[in-house]
Every structure is written in structure tokens, then in C-alpha cells.
Amino acid sequence: MNMTQQISEAVRPHDWPGLADPVHDSQRLFRQLLGAMSEPGTLTELALPALPAGAAISPAAWGALLALCDLDTRVWVDQGLARANLAAALAFHTGARLTDDPALADFALVTPDTLSREDGFALGSDAWPDRSTTLIVMVEALAQGEDWWLSGPGVPGRRGLALGSAERALPLMRVLAANRGRFPRGLDAFISSGMRLTAIARSTRLAGPGLAATDDAERQEESA
Amino acid sequence: MNTASNAQGVGAGAPTNAIDSGYNFAYLDEQTKRMIRRALLKAVAIPGYQVPFGGREMPMPYGWGTGGMQLTASVLGADDTLKVIDQGADDTTNAVSIRAFFERVAGVETTTATAQASVIQTRHRIPEKTLRADQILIFQVPIPEPLRFIEPSEEETRVMHALEEYGVMHVKLYEDIAHHGHIATTYAYPVKVDGRYVMDPSPIPKFDNPKLHMSEALMLFGAGREKRLYAIPPHTRVESLDFEDHPFEIQAWDEPCAICGATDSYLDEVIIDDQGARMFVCSDTDYCNSRSEEKA
């Protein structure tokens, strides 16, 4: 169709970067992911080589996939992100299987917009809340800010985030804010832009424009 | 792999110590580590919930810390400094052996100094020195289920956790009061994490329970035989269960540590002759040594 499309089709799986030292690189990436999930809203930079031209996912998201996926994991990919032969590259580098059924996905590559269309991801059950999908989200920008306020485990006081346009991030934040109402079921998210990554755990309380103020009500109830 | 596109800085973490090359780094194979790592991320996201994992056989019997070791092996990097404590001591068989194990299979630096460690594997104690945000504490857990001695069925306890049905735990503490006049549980004292899950903090003395609350450091718990792992993220509310008229209390001693004079640490009673004479000394050997050295 255009130049980008031509390049995408020419990308071979091994044009996507792997880990030069799989043992130590995946350990280092995991520790960054663990740190991010332990302290939601903190920013970390995942050092990774450039992705091939035409790739629609962030290097940080690719790093998370390389560190966490193998033949035991199933990945659901939003069609808009499956560019530059991503599916073949993921299979080539990690052995992970792709799935069309979001309810079977261990990981899902999404944008905030995906979540306004697709709500079938696994939440786990009350008895087995760990059987849930972990979202790996592409956002247009990621920085400390004052659009979204996080509190709860891993956050002393509260922590502020900005994800570019608050309006466009809203479908994501609505889904993550709903976690509190159904805890321990829920979706955990790694949120990435470029090399940068943060996490929001299902235990995180969220406040921001367009979100119901359940957080304050809950806190009052707890202190009562 | 397209080596040309791999950036600098990747692969810089190769270990330098003498390492047994017959094993993968840190003993476990990479796929096992990834499985445990994925489980750890869930555990951190659901504080206090016990995540099942495919526990592997380790070259030692269950009960010697196989759960803690699998977590350590999955978390450990070549640039980490590892400390291992057993009942607070760095110099007991278990602590020395596990330290030597990771020196051999991972080539990592080890230390006995709490402040110098980035990863601390522990059995039955939390160090006296306050932990920092850049440290991870990994507990060896014998029985992860706090409700197990009340309800032997795993299926039942799972439902109880799902329904947040924890009244029976308070009944057990109440029975203590009825029998002894006070809550007689002194170790593995149950806690509630972030107002939701009741959790066994492993057999640490209840003296250490307050250190779980709003800790700066991430705390991970691994049970090898039971194949469960769980976590308390930093800055998380952890309350010890109690009653309004019988509030939670920690142990206290009438005398200071006989070696370093500390009045704020957990003391072990040591019999020193066959006449019944005894002394009380810090269980945390690093804390005691560093205080003694400061004085000298």
C-alpha cells in the first residue's frame, strides 16, 4: 500500500532483536519489571536495541515479552500492533503461542483504545486470581504527571502519572480502576512508551478525570 | 539472532567469580526461572495471595529452604550481593551452605553485612537493621497456609480466602486467650495484608511482624514442598490480627543483650553451663557484631 507496508512485509523474524546474553539480560529485565510492579507508577528504562522499521510496539514492551514469554505462554495481540511480522518474531524468539481468544491470553499487547473494544481478557477467579491476563500497553507518552493518581501497595502516599492525552488513556484507566471493585480478580498492566515502562497492579487505587471516586469512599470505609 | 542490531550494554553482567560451569547460572534452567518470575509478578500484584508454582527438586531436602532458594535463583543477578541468614545467624549450617551453593552455581558476591546485601534469603528472622528500597528479602516458608492448622483441606482454605472468611482465625486467637489469658502465638503470627488476605509471615517471631508493615524493601515468600509463593510489596499495610481488648504485642526482655547491650533486638536464650545459668544474646549476629565493633 505504501512504503511502511512494504518494509513491514520484508521484515524477517530474526530482524527483531533478541537478547545477546539470554540468561543475564532476561534476569536484568525481569528485575526491572519486578521493581515496576512492586512500586506502581515508578518509571524505568528498559535498555534494548532498536526494533525493525514498521514495528508498532515499543522496545520496552518487546523487552517484557522477551523476558517473560516462552512456550508455556499465550499472547493475544491487537491487530493494529501486529506489524512488521511481530507474530513470527515472537514465536521465533520466545516460542510463545498466539491466541485469538483474549480469555486464554497470559499476556495481551494492547493500546488504551483496544480496551474500549475488547473486554474479554481473563480476570482470574476469586479462588484463583492469578489465572489472569497481564496487559502490556502501548501509550503515546509516559511521564510523571498529575493526570492520574496512584495509591495503595507499593506507593507511599500517592504517585502521579501522565500518559499523553488523558482522554485517549481513559479506556485503559477505566479498566484498571475497575480492578478495585472486583479484587482479587483483575488485570495487571505494564504500560510502555519507547524504552520507558511503568506498571499498575490490580491492587493499585486510581484517581483521575473520568474515573468514579470509589477510592475516597473506600478509604473512609476502611478508617471507620 | 541479528547480532549487528544488539546494542551496547547488553550482556555486561557476566559473573567474574569462579563458577561451576556444569550448571546454568544460579542452578535453575531458564524456563523454570521464567515460570517462577511470572508467578512472582502475580504475587506482587495480589499482595498476600499464595500463587502456585511448579516447584523443582533442589539438591537438598524439603524443609531446608528449597522454596526460598528457587525464588533466590530466579531473582538473583550476577551483580547482586547475597546474604543468607538462618534464625538471624550468618554462621549456621543452613546459612553457610546456601551461601556456598550460590557462590558455586552463580558466582555472586556474598556478605554477612545486612547493609551490603542486595538480596537476603532468610529463615525465621527479619534483620534488625531497617531494610532499604534497593534490597529484596526472600523468606523460606515451611507451611504457607495460615489456615492449615484450623482447616486441613486445601480446597476449603482456598474458598475461605476467596470469600475472605477469616473469622475462624480470630477464634483460634480467642482460644489462646481463654486458655492462657493472653494470645500465646509467638511465631508465625498471622497478619492481614492490605486489608484483604490473611497471610502466614513464615515462622518469624512476632517481634518481627511490625517490620513487615510499610517496609521499604520488597518481601518475597517461597514454600518449596507446598509449591506456593507470595509477596508483600514495599509500602504495604500489614496488620497483625488482634482484639481491641487484647492488642497485638511483641516480645520484651528484662535484660539487654549480654554481648552488645542492645535493648531493641530479638534475644535468644543461651544455656551456658550445666547449673542452669543462662544469658540472652542477639539472634541477629550481624547486628550484634557491628554494635560490638562500634563500641570497641
Give the residue from chain A lying closest to B136, CA to CA: A35
Question: Using a CB-CB distance cutoff of 8 angstroms, which residues of chain B are in contact with residue A48?
Answer: 7, 10
pLDDT surpassing 90 at residue B46: yes
Question: Using a CB-CB distance cutoff of 8 angstroms, which residues of chain B are in contact with residue A132?
Answer: 42
Can you give the residue range of the structural domain that contains A122? 3-223
| ipTM attached to this prediction | 0.93
pLDDT in tens, B172-210: 999 999 999 999 999 999 999 999 999 999 999 999 999
Nearest to B46 among A22, A35, A184 (CB): A184
pLDDT surpassing 70 at residue B8: no
Pairing of strands B278-282, B267-271: antiparallel
Domain count, chain A: 1
Question: Would the CB atoms of B44 and A129 count as touching at under 8 Å?
Answer: no
Question: Would the CB atoms of B77 and A31 count as touching at under 8 Å?
Answer: yes
Question: How confident is the prediction for chain A on average, in pLDDT?
Answer: 92
Name the β-bridge partners of B138: B121, B220
Give the residue from chain A lying closest to B216, CA to CA: A154
Percentage of chain A modeled with pLDDT above 90? 90
pLDDT surpassing 50 at residue B76: yes
Which of B 150-169 lie inside 8 A of A, CB atoms?
158-159, 161-163
Question: Using a CB-CB distance cutoff of 8 angstroms, which residues of chain A are in contact with residue B81?
Answer: none
Percentage of chain B modeled with pLDDT above 70? 94
Cell of A159: 504517585
Give the residue from chain B lying closest to A95, CA to CA: B31
Q: What is the pLDDT of residue B20?
A: 83
pLDDT in tens, A103-141: 999 999 999 999 999 999 999 999 999 999 999 999 999
Res. A223 pLDDT band, cuts 50 70 90: very low
Question: Using a CB-CB distance cutoff of 8 angstroms, which residues of chain B are in contact with residue A153?
Answer: 47, 194, 232-233, 235-237
pLDDT surpassing 60 at residue A8: no
Test mutation, B44, B53, B229, chain A, max A CBs within 10 A: B44
Which of B 29-58 lie inside 8 A of A, CB atoms?
30-31, 33-35, 37-47, 49, 51-52
Cell of A69: 514469554
Which of the residues of B are catalytic? 48, 257, 260, 282, 288
Give the residue from chain A lying closest to B51, CA to CA: A130
Its pTM stands at 0.93
The CATH number that applies at residue A27 is: 3.40.50.11310
Q: Which of these ranges, A46-50, A183-187, B13-17, B158-162, has the smallest mean pLDDT?
A: B13-17
Nearest to B41 among A34, A70, A186 (CB): A34
Contact B217, B198 (CB under 8 A): no
Cell of A89: 518474531
| CB contact burial B188-217 (16+ within 10 A = b; e otherwise) | bbbbbbbebbbbbbbbbbbbbbebbeebeb
Concatenated DSSP letters for B123-135?
A: ES---SSPPPTT-
pLDDT surpassing 70 at residue B6: no
Q: What is the pLDDT of residue B109?
A: 97
Nearest to B24 among A23, A152, A222 (CB): A23
Pairing of strands A107-110, A74-77: parallel
Distances (CA, A) of B81 to A97, B28, B135, B218: 36, 18, 10, 16
Question: 3-state SS of A164-199?
Answer: CCHHHHHHHHHHHHCHHHHCCCCCEEEEEECCEEEE
Nearest to B234 among A48, A154, A201 (CB): A154
Q: What is the pLDDT of residue A92?
A: 97
pLDDT in tens, B236-293: 999 999 999 999 999 999 999 999 999 999 999 999 999 999 999 999 999 999 999 9
Distances (CA, A) of B287 to B112, B125, B262: 10, 12, 9
Cell of A151: 495509591
Distance between CA A86 and CA A52 in Å, rounded?
10
Question: Would the CB atoms of A155 and B47 count as touching at under 8 Å?
Answer: no
Q: What is the pLDDT of residue A7?
A: 53
